[in-house]
Amino acid sequence: MGKLLYGAKVAEALREETRVEVGTLSEQHGIVPKLVAILVGDNPASRTYVGAKRRACEAVGIASETVQLASDITTETLLEVVQNLNRDPVVDAILVQLPLPSHVDKVAVLNAVEPAKDVDGFHPVNVGRTCINSAGVAPCTPAGIVELLKRYRVRIAGARAVIVGRSDIVGKPLALLLLHEHATVTVCHSKTKDLPKQTQRADILVGAMGKPAFIRGKHIRKGAVVVDVGVNRVDSRKEVLKLFGKQGKESRERLKRFDEKGYVLVGDVHPREGKAKARSITPVPGGVGPLTVAMLVRNTLTLAKMRRGPGQAAAARR
256 is catalytic: no
Q: Are strands 232-234 and 264-266 parallel, antiparallel or unpaired?
A: antiparallel
| DSSP three-state, residue 266 | strand
Distance CA 74, CA 85 (A): 17
Judge whether 97 counts as a catalytic residue. yes
DSSP state of 137: S
State yes or no: is 68 an active-site residue.
no
Query: DSSP per residue over 174-193, as a string?
Result: HHHHHHHTT-EEEEE-TT-S
Of the candidates 308, 314, 299, 296, the one whose C-alpha atom is nearest the C-alpha of residue 55 is 296
Q: 147: which DSSP letter?
A: H
* Order of strands across the sheet that contains 34-40: 63-69, 34-40, 93-96
The residue annotated as part of the active site, out of 34, 92, 117, 120, is 120
Helix, strand or coil, per DSSP, at residue 123: coil
Q: Which of 233, 183, 217 is nearest to 203 (CA)?
A: 183
Catalytic residue among 34, 53, 275, 305: 53
**Degrees, nearest 5: CA angle 212-252-44:** 50
Q: What is the DSSP letter of 101?
A: P
Q: Which of 92, 97, 228, 275 is catalytic?
A: 97
Instruction: For 147, list phi and psi in degrees, rounded to 5.
Output: -60, -40
Residues known to be catalytic: 53, 97, 120
